[in-house]
């Protein structure tokens, strides 16, 4: 059931990302819905399927991108790892944890995309990447972080209902 919801969610996100979000950039940067939902899911209490959802999201993102197939999967797996570390450190303030996780995860995922293109022989100026892609993407992701976290918290409560003590 949980994986089915994940498949459905990331299928919808892939369509939204490729048709709407990617066509409305800020400079050249765009929000990353996959990353936002994966990180928000990894921050939820009682959720034990964050790695699996991360894999599903990575596969969907790879299908919709010309980046090397593993790039998104590796980036998102790293982001989930970082997010879980942050969750253990800032567990009392989930919104703050979300913002911190999105901040670091955006930088990590964009740097992995930049490195994967550079390894394949495409030369890009790091300053241009920073100014035109990384910082605008960071801003958009941070703006969307709190609403996405709220959505995922509701979803987590639905999929992992709190057990009542007898």
CA angle in degrees (0–180, nearest 5) for 8-31-142: 110
Q: Please, is 102 exposed, middle or buried when counting C-beta atoms within 10 Å of its C-beta (0-12, 13-18, 19+)?
A: buried
What are the CA-CA distances from residue 84 to residues 65, 78, 91 (Å)? 26, 10, 10
Nearer to another protein by C-beta: 44 or 110?
Answer: 110
Among 64, 95, 103, 160, binds another protein (CB under 8 A): 64
Percent of the chain that is helix, strand, coil (3-state, to 5): 75, 0, 25
Among 48, 88, 89, 123, binds another protein (CB under 8 A): 123
Note whether 19 binds another protein by CB under 8 A: yes
Residue listed under structure tokens 């596969």: 59
Mark 73-112 with x for binding to another protein (rule: CB under 8 A) and - for no binding.
-------------------------------------x--
Nearer to another protein by C-beta: 22 or 159?
Answer: 22
Note whether 8 binds another protein by CB under 8 A: no
List of residues 6+ apart from 17 with CB closer than 8 A:
32, 33, 34, 61, 64
Note whether 137 binds another protein by CB under 8 A: yes
Provide the binding-site residues for another protein, judged by CB under 8 A.
Answer: 14-15, 17-19, 21-23, 25, 28-30, 32, 34, 61, 64-67, 72, 110, 113-114, 117, 120-125, 128-129, 132-133, 137
């Amino acid at each position: 059931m949980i994986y089915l919801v994940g498949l459905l969610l990331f299928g919808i996100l892939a369509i939204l990302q490729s048709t709407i979000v990617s066509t409305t950039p800020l400079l050249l940067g765009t929000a990353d819905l996959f990353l936002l939902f994966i990180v928000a899911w990894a921050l939820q209490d009682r959720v034990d399927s964050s790695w699996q959802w991360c894999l599903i999201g990575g596969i969907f993102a790879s299908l919709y991108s010309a980046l090397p197939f593993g790039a998104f999967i590796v980036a998102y797996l790293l982001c989930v790892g970082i997010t879980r570390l942050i969750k253990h450190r800032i567990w009392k303030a989930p919104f703050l944890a979300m913002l911190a996780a999105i901040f670091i995860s955006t930088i990590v995922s964009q740097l992995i995309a930049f490195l994967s293109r550079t390894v394949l022989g495409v030369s890009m100026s790091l300053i241009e990447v920073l100014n035109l892609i990384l910082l605008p993407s960071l801003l958009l992701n941070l703006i969307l972080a709190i609403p996405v976290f709220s959505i995922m918290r509701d979803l987590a409560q639905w999929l992992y209902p709190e057990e009542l003590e007898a």
